[in-house]
Amino acid sequence: MKTRYHFDNIEEPVMIPFTPLPVSSKLPYQLCTIGYVHFAQDFYTQREGQQNYQIIHTDAGSGLLTYKGKRYTLEKNHVILIDCNEQHHYCTGPAGEWKYRFLHINGGGCPAFYDTINQSGLTPVLLAHSSEFNYCFQKILAYVEEGDLRSDLVIPVHIMRILTELALNRNNQHTRKSEYHRQVIDDAVRFMENQIGRADFSVTEIARHAGFNENYFSRLFKRMTGTSAQEYLIRLRIDRSKHLLKKSAKPVSEVAFEVGFENVNVYIRDFKKLTGVTPLKYRLYAEGV
């Protein structure tokens, strides 16, 4: 691990390390360090090879981050999730001061959230309302400072809530255009739900309904939801078929046709890919649930 830094304090930094007990060491999220800092113009940190992830929430001023060859300005209410194994450098930004809170975290669940939040490259997330982040951060900080015996089992829950909040808001730019795009995708999903019983229903028709060409709509859908329109449509069909499998005695082939699959073998293949079992086994296991 390589780290260089220079502190230029406005307030004394608070950085509290935390070592999980064995009871929580295999949970998907663990806390390594939590803290808050307020630096003047000459602060910087340069790091690589650290085996954890870092969440940074800018509370005031601004910061500059160089990560994977790109530079990002981190302004008030921007939150980022970075992989500290990658070479990166951050410092006080043009505001001349930078006040931020941070968590270093680890665990098997972190890579999936990192990929979800940063699926199009590193994404500073704008939280217009930081109440969820503030609540979870304060809870984690209190558990660490008080040495609460429940901390090893409760802290991972709050870490997951913070990561979920970032994932939900990763496309939140608070512009008229982004709000319009969100409405377009919401309307497209409702259109899918109403049409999934049609075997001839396609992404082309969904895009036409939304008022875009298919290529642009597909890119927009992927950016806003994290998955392709075709994958989302298949999942809707599979979810609808689960309901039919549990609530009716219809043959698997009839269920497949009712949710828009022309070929029962394709339905069985897609069902098993998403659930890990065949439709028939799902019906047997789900009976009475």
Residue-wise pLDDT for 41-69, tens only, equals: 999 999 999 999 999 999 999 999 999 99
Among 145, 168, 191, give the residue marking a domain's end. Answer: 168
Which range marks the domain in which residue 250 is found? Answer: 176-286
Is residue 266 domain-shared with residue 128, that is, in the same domain? Answer: no
Mean pLDDT of 249-268: 94
* Strand partners of residue 45: 5, 90
146 and 203 in a common domain? no
Note the pLDDT of residue 241: 94
Look over the chain and give the mean of its residue pLDDT values, rounded to a whole number.
90
Last residue of a domain, one of 129, 145, 168: 168
Instruction: Give percent of the chain above pLDDT 90.
Output: 71
Domain identity same for 85 and 195:
no
Q: What is the pLDDT of residues 94-109, one digit of tens each?
A: 999 999 999 999 999 9
What is the model's pLDDT at position 180? 79
Identify whether residues 51 and 104 lie together within a single domain.
yes
Q: Could you tell me the CATH number of the domain that includes residue 247? A: 1.10.10.60
| pTM, rounded to two decimals | 0.73
269, 227: one domain = yes
Q: For residue 72, what are the β-bridge partners?
A: 65
Number of domains the chain is built from: 2
Radius of gyration of the chain from Cα atoms?
23
Per-residue model confidence (pLDDT) at position 225: 78
Binned at pLDDT 50, 70 and 90, residue 175 comes out as very low
Neighbours of 83 (CB within 10 A): 18
Q: Looking at residue 133, what is its pLDDT?
A: 95
On whether both 130 and 155 belong to a single domain, the answer is yes
d(CA 101, CA 15): 10
Domain with residue 16: its CATH number is 2.60.120.280
Distance CA 100, CA 15 (A): 12
Instruction: Give the pLDDT of residue 169.
Output: 86
**247 and 152 in one domain?**
no
Same-domain check for residues 53 and 150: yes
Same domain, 206 and 136: no
Identify the residue whose tokens are 């951050």. Answer: 90
- Is the pLDDT assigned to residue 86 strictly greater than 90? yes
- Of 144, 168, 192, the residue at which a domain comes to its end is 168
The continuous run of DSSP H or E covering 213 comes out as none
Residues 119 and 198 grouped into a single domain: no
Q: Are residues 197 and 70 in the same domain?
A: no
Strand stretches in the chain, DSSP E: 2-6, 9-17, 30-39, 44-48, 53-61, 63-67, 70-74, 78-83, 88-92, 98-106, 125-126
Same domain, 190 and 151: no
What pLDDT shows up at residue 20? 84
